[in-house]
Amino acid sequence: MTETRSRAFYILSAVFALYVLFLYGPTITILVLSFQGPSGGMTFPMNGVSLHWFHNLWAGIGVPNVVDALSNSLKLGIVVTIITVVISILAGYAFRRRFRGQDALFFTAIASLILPSIIVSLGIALEFQLFNQTITAWGDSLVENYVDIENPTAWTNFLGFIGSSIQDNFQTLMGLFTSGLGAHLTWTLPFGLLIMFAVFNRFNPAYEEAARDLGASPWQTFRFVVLPMILPSLIGVALFGFTLSWDEIARSSQAVGSANTLPLTLRGLTTTVTTPVIYALGTVTTAVSFAVIGTAILTLLIVQARRRRHGSDAGRGV
Amino acid sequence: MLDEKSRWTPYWQAAPLAIVFLVFFVLPLAITFMVSFWTYTGYSIEPALVGDNYASAFDKCIDSLPDLCTTFRTYLSTLKFCLMVWLITLVLGFTIAYYLVFEIKSPTTRIVLALLTTIPFWTSNVIRMISWIPLLGRNGLVNQALMGAGITHEPVDWLLYSSFSVTLSLVHINTVFMIVPILNSMSRIDKSLIEAAYDNGASAWQTIWNVIVPLSKTGIAIGSIFVITVVMGDFISIGLMGGQQIASAGKVIETQITALQFPIAAANAIVLLAVVLMIIWTLLRFVDIRKEL
């Protein structure tokens, strides 16, 4: 086909190219600047090329340490990914059938996706503060009512012990893997759910019926028929789960307690650090994102290639 | 055959999702509403039923009319960012989606190019903001270029930590939210409709305006809801790119949280929520989103 391109094509191609430059240009700039020489500053020109700022980064900057923040975010990201994939598959299955409260659940998921993150974050913070106040008050009342009383029994001693344990040890329920995890899930699960909707809307139930007719149990049907077919989409869900959690800042901001995630630490550092070490941290963070995106895309390509090779045997007259 | 056991299957399958949203979304919103009527001490929040927090959110707003009080001015400024970013991302997103759907013929190229526009969405927003510093700062590349070309003698100050850089960064981060839904709507348009329009003598602009835009309406509405709600609640970009000097509805809440004025922050959050819901409700009158799924 040798259809000549219109003038609009070239103009729009130029617009697209400029947009891509706009999209990637700044990030590439800091990738380059993170290899700034030891005496170089935060802007061009480059004063030599070195790994100085990466060594600097590894030695640790900021309080709390960026390396801790990095490992916090990595751990949280992995947990969020696993939970997002599992819950999304289950919910995707549920939505294939009618059930009561279906619409309410769907609209809640959409609301969670679009309502301002600061509101969600504040809400979770308030909720956990109320939990904390309740637990503390309960501990106080137990101590007041059951410690040093006349005629103690084993039961009152036990209650008193719980009360004083709370007074001595309890600080907060808020944390990376309680409120922080929940805050991230409110952001990743709607994406997971929407992807599963897209998957199951195009999924032909005849495959499952065939598996059932051939004697497969529900688990076998899922494991050997459905799972291989929806695998590419699950990789997509996992990609969203990890990257959205890894980069999340607005919902984490009030909800992670005392442990900081990487984006929060980065934001803090922008006001205190005035050397290219912050670009080095940017490069490392972006490298992790790209490694994850690259792995996801590569896995997809491999799955597709395998499918082409082994393929379906439909129409081969077996 | 649906037996007694399998009738309950969707319920336990949906339960984990429902529980997460209940504990970390619905309950927090309810608590925020409740706490917005509470009082507070230096270290705790106390049950009460007072309107003080709302009164302080709208402090002197009625008395000082026609002058705008701080809250009204903050919302006005936030809405201005919203409108600006919405217009730019809409035009840009529509143009790019149009290019990908109607000008790129090979499906593989289309997927690769579409992926190119979405990959940054999976990288860190904070870093994408920091990335502007070496470009827009006083000694940044743009100023170096401007001075090198002799356009200015002094470095231009308003490039960074200004409304300009906030808008730029919001466009940079959020255009993808316009591209994807519009792309989705546009790729479902039957190409023969476009040919029919041309055959009937419509110009390119007429075709876009009278055929493509109406058929992409849902995508445009979904993208708009995304962009507008993100910008309405934004406090990260406005904080970082505005040098912590520009107020926004979200930033007011953040400041009050930092000052441990939780009930006042909650009242402001409820006000913001009401404003955002009103905007979404207006946009939803134009489309039925469930049709898109």
CATH code of the domain covering residue A191? 1.10.3720.10
B289 or B231, which is more confident: B231
CA distance B156 to A217: 70
Within-domain flag for A83: yes
Q: Of the ranges B22-31, B48-57, B217-226, which is most confident?
A: B22-31
Nearest to B160 by CA among B169, B152, B170: B169
Within-domain flag for A218: yes
Nearest to B175 by CA among B167, B165, B187, B163: B167
- Tell me the pLDDT tens digit for each residue of B209-236: 999 999 998 899 989 999 999 999 999 9
Q: Mean pLDDT throughout A170-179?
A: 89
* pLDDT at residue A244 is higher than 60: yes
pLDDT of residue B1: 44
Average pLDDT taken over every residue of chain B:
88
Which residue in chain B is spatially nearest to A104 when comparing CA positions? Answer: B18
**ipTM score of complex:** 0.89
Q: Does A130 touch chain B (CB under 8 A)?
A: yes
- Tell me the pLDDT tens digit for each residue of A204-243: 889 999 999 999 998 999 999 999 889 989 999 999 999 9
CA distance A199 to A89: 10
Q: Mean pLDDT throughout B90-106?
A: 93
* pLDDT at residue A315 is higher than 70: no
Nearest to B99 by CA among B190, B174, B175, B179: B179
Q: Residue B104 gets which letter from DSSP?
A: -
Nearest to B198 by CA among B181, B183, B213, B211: B211
- Tell me the pLDDT tens digit for each residue of A275-305: 888 888 889 889 988 999 999 989 988 888 8
pLDDT of residue B292: 58
Within-domain flag for A9: no
| B13, B23, B103 ranked by CB distance to A91: nearest | B13
As assigned by CATH, the class of the B22-292 domain is mainly alpha
What percentage of residues in chain B have a pLDDT greater than 90? 44
In single-letter form, the type of residue at position A42 comes to M
Q: Which of A110-119, A276-285, B283-292 has the lowest mean pLDDT?
A: B283-292
CA separation, residue A304 to residues A191, A300, B93 (Å) = 23, 6, 30
pLDDT of residue A61: 67
Q: Name the β-bridge partners of B45.
A: B40
Which tokens hold the place of B128?
């994408």
Query: B32 vs A123: CB contact, 8 Å cut-off?
Result: yes
* pLDDT at residue A154 is higher than 80: yes
A279: Cβ contacts below 8 Å, ≥ 6 apart: A30, A31, A33, A34, A36, A42, A53, B130, B134
State the pTM of this model.
Answer: 0.89
Domain count, chain A: 1
Within-domain flag for A259: yes
Which residue in chain B is spatially nearest to A119 when comparing CA positions? Answer: B269
Q: Does A222 touch chain B (CB under 8 A)?
A: no
pLDDT of residue A17: 95
CA distance A280 to B262: 36
Which residue in chain B is spatially nearest to A251 when comparing CA positions? Answer: B236
pLDDT of residue A312: 56
- Please identify among residues 224-243 of chain A the ones whose CB lies closer than 8 Å to any CB of chain B: 239-240, 243
CA separation, residue B112 to residues A204, A276, B98 (Å) = 27, 33, 15
φ, ψ at B187 (rounded to 5°)? -70, -10
Q: Which residues of B127-138 are buried (b: 16+ CB within 10 A; e: fewer)?
A: bbbbbbbbbbbe
CA distance B111 to B180: 12
Which residue in chain B is spatially nearest to A130 when comparing CA positions? Answer: B45
pLDDT of residue A135: 93
A60: left (phi over 0), alpha (psi -120 to 50) or beta: left
Average pLDDT taken over every residue of chain A:
87
Q: Name the β-bridge partners of B39.
A: B46
pLDDT of residue A64: 56
Query: A19 vs B117: CB contact, 8 Å cut-off?
Result: yes
pLDDT of residue A196: 94
CA distance B138 to B154: 9
Q: Does A217 touch chain B (CB under 8 A)?
A: no
Q: Of the ranges A124-128, B3-7, B150-154, which is most confident?
A: A124-128
* pLDDT at residue A119 is higher than 50: yes
Q: Which domain, by its residues, includes A113?
A: 66-264
